[in-house]
């Protein structure tokens, strides 16, 4: 194709895009991202898009879908999946912008969780703090009349098995005035005394675009309930996974779970209070867990998993109960029914409809049922917030493709994130069909002068080098760097243990917030907003290092992000089992996939809290000499070019001072 002909094609494509793109100008590289997404939808591919923060990924994929649908009206529906609630609202607003811009005719069904869309959960105090799992049991029980009454919202939404005329009328209204934010749908449905979640499900039958969380594709039961029930075939679905760097961990987590000794004790009290015969099951289970816990604590201490053979638990349990394996299965089924009786009795008493007996039985059923080399079982001991030791049994899924394999059945899929730094990793561990895959990695859209990347070569958190001298040096360097930077600084550590060691030694003048396992993101944001000069200590892969916008009015609140050590995963038996599993599956890539990629992801996400808009400026500091060794070659080229490493803290401080002077 000649240069002039190519130019005409590009011009025609841009004209097509501008029909739906609601803004006057494109961000750097945004048109390239739109074209990639457009081709992925049009050709039915699996696209992996690495597009840094600030390139406008959400509006890009929506625009691309509308452009592709304009060219091919039978392209099917768009299913956009997010991990965080705030991302749902971003997509909702962008859809409104598109409709206002061009008047496009489309319907959108936008889901929050069933509990968040339930009027009872808002109105009934006993439902406010119950676990989501327990809420689902309660919802099912209400629909079936198990608690002495039925759900009036659900009953008005359906006439037998069909939607009621009230529901049909409301769906028509939402189609006409939408797209609506989930809160807006909730208000309209509650005023009409209809179930907001079920109305949104009915709307899905007519929706061109469905927005929800990852579970809507990855979980069989939810996929069948939401999509299958309204006749949507997977081959007619175009899907976007936002923040897809987290998809491998999320997919594995769907088939992973834990049971604590506290839950077993609560279940024991529960059956005593309700005079239910548990056939000796809970006392036997608790005794076995305590014996396991004593051995693990003696050999490993706290927060370290020891892998066990799953049969050891069930065989010991059967022996204590004096039954065989088949009889144990029958006992679990009988106890599951008794657990549901407890839910009903608690509800009748005006209490939360929870059942710890059900929780224990469900866990044991999964312990028995989830088989094969893709799963490991473990025991660990941890310290609770009340400083008491608790034993946990756990099931860990090693293979993300068990849940993510459904992606290959979709018409097209886009996996996008600002940090898909190794495309092969995602193709392999998610089990993607490589013959359908295509990828695009876009450069950082912000000027390089907006970011200073430094490495402190004088320190490391490498396990073999950890000692009091190293911790004191890190703490001293942190003090000096934070003092020089000023403003708000986020510091991320490889683990809670390392964070606690250094927090004890750091003598900071600024207000300090230290992340704990129960820390709420809203509390962190409030702390940052209220303190112009302050420090947040967090953990890489923790709740305040990923998917959190530390911003105010679209601009970053942070002046610097400091990453103490390289956040490699802990060397545990589970990590060794994962390496063995990946070695069998991926050969020589096993080390890269089990060790380096989790570290890179954690590093990228922690650093990604810094620059959130083109106007932001800030400093990234990695405090570990390993960052300039072989590890450096795994970083993006622009990082490799921009990184400045120094052994002397004085040179680091001078770099910081110069960078900050240039920003004035």
Domain boundaries defined on the chain: 3-115+160-252+403-441, 257-369, 448-662
Q: How much is the pLDDT for 386?
A: 74
553 against 664, higher pLDDT: 553
Rounded average pLDDT over 373-384: 93
Top-confidence residue, 119 or 545: 119
Q: What is the pLDDT of residue 89?
A: 83
613 — pLDDT class (breaks 50, 70, 90) = confident
Four-residue CA torsion sign, 187, 192, 198, 200? negative
| pLDDT score for 366 | 94
- Which segments of 349-400 does DSSP mark as H helices, in order? 356-369
Dist CA 295 CA 481 (whole Å): 44
| Alpha helices by DSSP H, 215-324 | 215-218, 220-226, 247-253, 261-273, 281-300, 310-321
Element (H, E) at 216: helix 215-218
Residue 358's pLDDT band (cuts 50, 70, 90):
very high
515 Cα distance to chain centroid: 18
- Of 36 and 224, which is predicted with more confidence? 36
The rounded mean pLDDT for the chain is: 91
- Mapped onto helix, strand or coil, the DSSP state of residue 184 is helix
**Beta carbons of 657 and 484 less than 8 angstroms apart:** yes
Outline where DSSP puts E strands in 374-498. Answer: 375-383, 389-397, 412-417, 437-441, 451-456, 488-493
Query: Does this chain's domain 3-115+160-252+403-441 share its CATH topology with 448-662?
Result: yes
Calculate mean pLDDT across residues 453-462: 94
Judged against a pLDDT cut of 60, whether residue 7 lies above it is answered with no
pLDDT tier at 538, thresholds 50, 70, 90 = very high
For 325, residues 6+ apart whose C-beta sits below 8 A from its C-beta are 314, 315, 318
User: What is the predicted pLDDT for the residue at 67?
Assistant: 96
Q: What is the pLDDT of residue 419?
A: 87
Fold that domain 3-115+160-252+403-441 belongs to in CATH: Rossmann fold (3.40.50)
Tell me the DSSP string of 583-626: HHHHGGGHHIIIIIHHHHHHHHHHHTTS--STT--EEEEEE-GG
Q: What is the pLDDT of residue 473?
A: 95
User: 525: how many CB neighbours lie within 10 A of its CB?
Assistant: 17
What's the token pair of residue 595?
A: 């060790």
Q: Between residues 547 and 260, which one has the greater pLDDT?
A: 260
Output the pLDDT for position 547.
67
The whole-number average pLDDT for the span 298-327 is: 92
Instruction: Check residue 350 and give its pLDDT.
Output: 80
Which CATH architecture group holds 257-369? Orthogonal Bundle (1.10)
Which residue would you say has higher pLDDT here, 361 or 88?
A: 361
Let me know the angle formed at the C-alpha of 195 by 192 and 197, rounded to the nearest 5 degrees: 130
Residue for token pair 């001298």: 469
Confidence of residue 371 (pLDDT cuts 50, 70, 90): confident
Mean pLDDT, to the nearest integer, of 263-270?
95
The CA-to-CA distance between both ends of the chain, in Å, stands at 49
Q: Is the pLDDT of residue 444 over 90?
A: no
How many CB atoms neighbour CB 34 within 10 A? Answer: 27
Task: Tell me which of 550 and 641 has the higher pLDDT.
Answer: 641
pLDDT at position 4: 53
Nearest in space to 603 (alpha carbons), one of 557, 635, 629: 635
By mean pLDDT, which of 68-72, 87-91, 165-169 is the weakest?
87-91
Least confident range of 79-83, 111-115, 285-289, 383-387: 383-387
pLDDT of residue 8: 61
Strands 257-260 and 237-241: unpaired
The two structure tokens encoding residue 559: 């002046």
Percent of the chain clearing pLDDT 90 (strictly above) = 69
pLDDT at residue 505 in the model: 92
Q: CA-CA distance, 121 to 134, in Å (whole number)?
A: 12
Count CA within 13 A, CB hemisphere, residue 393.
27
Q: What is the mean pLDDT of residues 523-539?
A: 92
Sign of the C-alpha dihedral computed for residues 380, 541, 492 and 633 taken in this order: positive
Q: Tokens for 90, please give them.
A: 């971003």
Q: Which of 426, 47, 430 is nearest to 239 (CA)?
A: 47
Q: What's the CATH class of domain 448-662?
A: alpha beta
Reported confidence tier of residue 415, pLDDT bands at 50, 70, 90:
very high
Average pLDDT over residues 555-576: 92
Task: Report the pLDDT value the prediction gives residue 553, as an integer from 0 to 100.
Answer: 76
Strands 237-241 and 77-82: parallel
The two three-digit tokens of residue 77, written as one number: 């529906």
99 SS3 class: helix
Residue 364, pLDDT score: 95
Task: Show the beta-strand stretches assigned E in 214-344.
Answer: 237-241, 257-260, 306-308
Mean pLDDT of 559-576: 94
The residue with tokens 């490889």 is 494
* pLDDT at 172 > cutoff 60: yes
Edge to edge, the sheet with strand 257-260 lists: 257-260, 389-397, 375-383, 306-308
- Name the residue with tokens 């992606």: 407
Q: What is the rounded CA–CA span in Å between residue 578 and residue 591? A: 10
Query: Quick one: which of 169, 233, 234 has its CA closest to 203?
Result: 169
pLDDT at 663: 66
C-alpha to C-alpha distance for 30 and 28, rounded to whole angstroms: 5
Residue 593, phi-psi category: left (phi > 0), alpha (psi -120 to 50), beta (remainder): alpha
Is there a cis peptide before residue 563, judged by omega within 30 degrees of 0? no
Query: CA 190 to CA 328: how far, in whole Å?
Result: 45
Residue 137: pLDDT band with limits 50, 70, 90: confident
| Crossing angle for the helix pair 325-348 and 132-144, to the nearest 10 degrees | 80
What is the share, in percent, of the chain residues with pLDDT greater than 70? 98
Residue 139: helix, strand or coil by DSSP? helix
Q: What pLDDT is stored for residue 542 in this prediction?
A: 84
| Confidence band, pLDDT 50/70/90 cuts, at residue 1 | low
Mean pLDDT on 343-350: 85
């Amino acid at each position: 194709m000649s240069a002039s002909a190519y130019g005409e094609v590009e011009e025609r494509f841009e004209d097509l895009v501008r029909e739906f793109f609601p803004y006057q100008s494109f961000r750097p590289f945004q048109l390239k991202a739109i074209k990639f997404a457009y081709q992925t939808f049009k050709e039915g591919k699996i696209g992996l898009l690495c597009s840094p923060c600030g390139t406008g990924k959400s509006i890009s994929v929506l625009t691309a879908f509308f452009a592709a649908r304009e060219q091919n009206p039978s392209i099917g529906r768009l299913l956009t999946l997010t991990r965080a609630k705030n991302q749902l609202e971003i997509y909702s607003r962008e859809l409104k912008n598109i409709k206002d811009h061009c008047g496009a005719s489309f319907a959108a069904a936008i889901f929050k969780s069933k509990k968040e869309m339930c009027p009872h959960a808002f109105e009934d105090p006993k439902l406010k703090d119950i676990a989501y799992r327990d809420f689902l049991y309660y919802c099912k029980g209400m629909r079936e009349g198990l608690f002495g009454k039925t759900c009036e919202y659900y009953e008005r939404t359906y006439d037998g098995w069909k939607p009621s005329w009230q529901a049909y009328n409301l769906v028509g209204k939402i189609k006409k005035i939408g797209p609506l934010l989930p809160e807006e749908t909730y208000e309209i449905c509650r005023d009409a005394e209809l179930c907001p979640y079920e109305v949104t499900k009915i709307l899905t039958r007519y929706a061109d675009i469905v927005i929800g969380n990852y579970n809507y594709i990855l979980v069989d039961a939810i996929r069948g309930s939401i999509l299958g029930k309204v006749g949507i075939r997977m081959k007619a679905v175009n899907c976007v996974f936002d923040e897809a760097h987290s998809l491998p961990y999320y997919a594995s987590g769907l088939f992973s779970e834990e049971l604590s000794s506290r839950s077993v004790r609560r279940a024991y009290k529960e059956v005593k209070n309700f005079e239910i015969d548990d056939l000796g099951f809970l006392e036997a289970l608790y005794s076995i867990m305590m014996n396991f816990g004593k051995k693990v604590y003696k050999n490993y201490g706290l927060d370290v998993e020891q892998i066990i053979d799953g049969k050891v638990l069930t065989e010991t349990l059967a022996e204590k109960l004096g039954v065989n394996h088949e009889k144990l299965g029958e006992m679990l089924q009988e106890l599951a029914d008794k657990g549901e009786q407890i839910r009903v009795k608690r509800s009748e008493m005006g209490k939360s409809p929870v059942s710890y007996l059900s929780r224990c039985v469900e866990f044991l059923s999964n312990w028995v049922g989830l088989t094969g080399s893709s799963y490991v079982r473990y025991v660990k001991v941890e310290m609770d917030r009340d400083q008491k030791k608790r034993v946990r049994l756990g099931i860990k899924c090693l293979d993300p493709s068990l849940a993510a394999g459904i992606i290959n059945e979709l018409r097209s899929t886009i996996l996008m994130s600002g940090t898909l730094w190794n495309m092969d990793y995602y193709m392999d561990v998610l089990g993607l069909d490589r013959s359908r895959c295509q990828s695009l990695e876009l450069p950082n859209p912000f000027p390089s002068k907006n970011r200073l990347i430094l490495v402190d070569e004088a320190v490391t958190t490498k396990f073999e080098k950890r000692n009091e001298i190293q911790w004191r040096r890190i703490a001293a360097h942190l003090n000096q760097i934070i003092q020089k930077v000023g403003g708000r600084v986020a510091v991320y550590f490889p683990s809670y243990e390392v964070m606690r060691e250094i927090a004890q030694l750091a003598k900071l003048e600024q207000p300090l917030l230290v992340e704990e396992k129960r820390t709420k993101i809203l509390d962190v944001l409030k702390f940052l907003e209220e303190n112009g000069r302050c420090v947040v200590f967090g953990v890489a892969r923790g709740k305040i290092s990923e998917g959190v916008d530390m911003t105010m009015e679209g601009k970053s609140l942070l002046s610097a992000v400091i990453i103490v050590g390289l956040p490699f995963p802990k060397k545990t038996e589970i990590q060794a089992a994962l390496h063995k599993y990946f070695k069998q599956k991926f050969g020589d890539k096993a080390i890269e996939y089990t060790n380096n990629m989790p570290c890179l992801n954690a590093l990228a996400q922690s650093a990604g809290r810094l620059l959130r808009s083109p106007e932001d400026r800030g400093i990234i500091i990695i405090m570990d000499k390993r960052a300039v060794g072989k590890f450096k070659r795994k970083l993006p080229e622009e990082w490799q070019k921009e990184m400045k490493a120094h052994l002397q803290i004085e040179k680091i401080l001078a770099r910081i001072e110069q960078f900050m002077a240039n920003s004035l």
